[in-house]
Structure 1
Amino acid sequence: MNFNIRGENIEVTPAIQKFVEQKIGKIDRYFDEGLDANVNVNLKVYNNKQKIEVTIPMSQITLRAEEGHDDLYAAIDLVVDKLERQIRKHKTKINRKLRDQGSPKFMFTNGVEPNRPEYIDEDEEELEVVRQKRFDLKPMDSEEAILQMNMLGHNFFVYTNSSSNSTNVVYKRRDGKYGIIEPS
């Protein structure tokens, strides 16, 4: 794994860097041939609140988790736990998809970790579409799309950007601000 560790309002000391690499490096055991990916870690400090964001882009999936805590080291532990839960939850589905595509290799290892029971989710649902909607995309600017989204009470809204004529998505972020997803 290649680590890219950045800090916002915090200096990334060698001790912090070593701790992050050691903790996040533990997820390597979930992969058949080890994890050869760039691990992007962003550490933030705002108002004595520590936040860590980890993004690991890979060929088939992108693992991403973020966690906040008063203690940076506790936040790092929590984000690693969240990444491990994601991997355990989705490894069967991804390996099945690769097998169905004729791939001789699997992304995730199928072995059970020592000292840890195999993750079994009896309530695990198949990813199924339960509702489908069709509607015309009206050309508008981002402010009008935000207004429409808020009037509908949704947390995202799909629209056609009137200036670029491309399909965009506006969404409400956890911090209460708005974001826009545009095609490249």
Structure 2
Amino acid sequence: MNYNIRGENIEVTSAIRDYVEKKISKLHRYFSETPDANVNVNLKTYSDKTAKVEVTIPLPQLVLRAEVDHEDMYAAIDLITDKLERQIRKHKTKVNRKFREKGSLNTLFTTTDEVASTVIEEESDLEVVRQKSFNLKPMDSEEAILQMNMLGHSFYVFTDAETNRTNVVYKRKDGRYGLIETYN
């Protein structure tokens, strides 16, 4: 794993860097092979002496993302590692029945494609201020909902495995889910 650790209002010391790498590297046990993924870690401190840690790990079949606010930076790093482990276990449990015939669940987390993410900063209301690019993986709507919930987003774009068309699942205001299907 390649670590990209940056700090906002804090200097990322070698002690903090080593601690983050040590904690995040514990996630290796969930992979059949060490993934060649970029681990993006953002450490922030605020004037009220609270710390915020954000971690994003884009993988081909899954994007792991978590954020934690805490008074102590090291405690926040511990909490975020636990949160990422829970996400992986939850995802593995929910999709277990689908991948049972295909072999080990660890193959779900092998890396074959890179997820590219580019942030473009602009100051106009009509300008695009953030742009993301990614490969659409074939899946069913249930798995897309799982991915959306793990990311904490209100919608998720995916390729339907049966029709090979681009679809969108979204969370409705009533807490249920909607599906938008595209046609050519």
**What TM-score results when the alignment is normalised by the length of structure 2?**
0.54
Tell me the alpha carbon deviations over residues 62-83 of structure 1, each in whole angstroms, 9 at most, x when there is no partner.
Answer: 0001001100000000000000
* Distance in structure 1 (CA, Å) of the matches to 2:60 and 2:15: 31
* Equivalent pair of 2:92/2:105 in contact (CA under 8 Å): no
Quick one: structure 1 residues 107 and 25, their matched pair in 2 at CA, closer, same or farther if it must change by over 3 Å? same
Secondary structure at the counterpart of residue 27 of structure 2:
helix
Shift of 1:108: 5.6
**2:48 aligned with 1:62:** no
Structure 1: 5+ residue stretches without partners = 110-125, 130-155, 158-168, 170-184
Aligned length: 115
Highest CA radius of gyration, 1 or 2?
1
**Match for residue 12 of structure 1?**
12
- The alpha-carbon deviation at position 33 of structure 1 amounts to 1.4
How far residue 36 of structure 1 moved from its aligned partner, in angstroms, is 2.2
Please state if 1:78 is matched with 2:79: yes
User: 1:36 and 2:36 equivalent?
Assistant: yes
Equivalent residue letter for 2:10: I
SS at structure 1 position matched to 2:65: strand
**Residues 94 and 107 of structure 1 are in contact (CA less than 8 Å); yes or no, is this contact kept in structure 2?**
no
Alpha-carbon contact 1:8-1:43 (below 8 Å) kept: yes
After TM superposition, what 4+ stretches of structure 1 lie above 6 angstroms from structure 2?
126-129
Q: Which has the higher contact order (CA 8 A, sep 6+)?
A: 2
Give the Å deviation of 1:98: 4.7
| Kept after mapping to 2: 8 A contact 1:56/1:64 | yes
Please say if 1:23 is aligned against 2:23: yes
State the secondary structure of the residue aligned to 2:67.
Answer: strand
Q: Is the 8 A contact 2:42 2:53 kept in 1?
A: yes
Q: 1:21 to 1:42 in 2, by over 3 A?
A: same
Residue-by-residue CA offset, 1:1-27 (whole Å, 9 max, x unaligned): 100001000000011000000001101
DSSP-derived class of the 1:107 partner: helix
Counting aligned pairs with the same residue, the percent is 62
Q: Which amino acid aligns with 2:15?
A: A
